[in-house]
Amino acid sequence: MRRIGAALAAALALVATACGTEPEATPRAAAPAPTTTTTPTTTTPPTAVPGPGGTTVPVFQHPYPYGTARAKPPASPDGLVPVVRRIETDQPHVFITIDDGAVRHPAALELMRSANVRPSLFLNTKHVQEDPAYFKALQDRASAQVHAHTANHPNLQGKPYEFQKQEICGNADYLQQHVGARPRLFRPPFGNYDANTRRAATDCGFTALVMWTAAVNDGVVQFQAGGKLNAGDVVLMHFRQTFVEDFLAFLERCKRDGLTPVPLEDYLSAPRP
Ligand SMILES: [Zn+2]
């Protein structure tokens, strides 16, 4: 009690001193009133918020309750995992996927949270094992979902089945053990795959092999066809030094094209509606 009292007295003395040493008010009476931070009374959510390095982060509202299935899982034509390049939908939805995990940018978590966007992460064991907590935080605190991208990022095409299975299942096992949930989606490195890749991915328990229809590099969104993003596009970017520029370029492009990024899992791996 005495110590608290002493601390309080010291704090008050400090405040008094600070006030006492303040310069006299200048005769300029028209000084603006001090600005105070108040909670907005409006219920309209912001469309943008300040981001890292003086940037502006576009904010997206969830168009439906995330975590609910929007479609049946894609059909398998031959009993093996289907290959998905884009999502068939009449809704203005797009999907952001972020690969590898080579550079763990410190602003990534806050950017995802600020934008209110939940990316899908296709991660390699060799990168995640350098700092599993970084990726677990993206999953737990930004609701990003972690998926498989092989252990060591080899070109799978033409490799023996056993080699591919080890790369794919081993990666899924590692992510399940060190990040959390069992990955449901798989993306082959470089987008290269063959029949053995689909067999191995099937045997490892995946629901889809995911490709992409647009990419972000050096802060520029690149389209495979046309000059804009379209509903159902799957966009690829990477964990790089340019994470902020790349992620913001994607978000701004979505706003411009009237699209909302939603979780890929809701279209590909959620339980059937
Ligand atoms: Zn990759």
At 228-260, the pLDDT tens digits run 999 999 999 999 999 999 999 999 999 999 999
Burial class, 252, CB count within 10 angstroms (exposed 0-12 / middle 13-18 / buried 19+):
middle
- Is 245 domain-assigned? yes
- pLDDT by residue (tens digit) across 92-145? 999 999 999 999 999 999 999 999 999 999 999 999 999 999 999 999 999 999
The CA distance from 56 to 198, in Å, is 41
Q: Indicate if the pLDDT at residue 3 is higher than 70.
A: no
Record the pTM. Answer: 0.83
What's 131's domain CATH number?
3.20.20.370
CA dihedral sign of residues 265, 268, 272, 273: positive
Q: Which residues have CB less than 5 Å away from ligand 1 (the ion)?
A: 99-100, 189
- Is 273 domain-assigned? no
The CA distance from 57 to 260, in Å, is 14
- Is 186 domain-assigned? yes
Rg, Å, the chain Cα set: 24
| Domains contained in the chain, number | 1
Nearest Cα residue to 95 out of 213, 215, 261, 259: 261
Q: For residue 131, how far is its CA from the centre of ligand 1 (angstroms)? A: 17
| Residue 128 CB neighbours (<10 A) | 25
| Domain of 155, in residue numbers | 104-268
Q: For residue 54, how far is its CA from the centre of ligand 1 (angstroms)? A: 30
Burial class, 136, CB count within 10 angstroms (exposed 0-12 / middle 13-18 / buried 19+):
middle
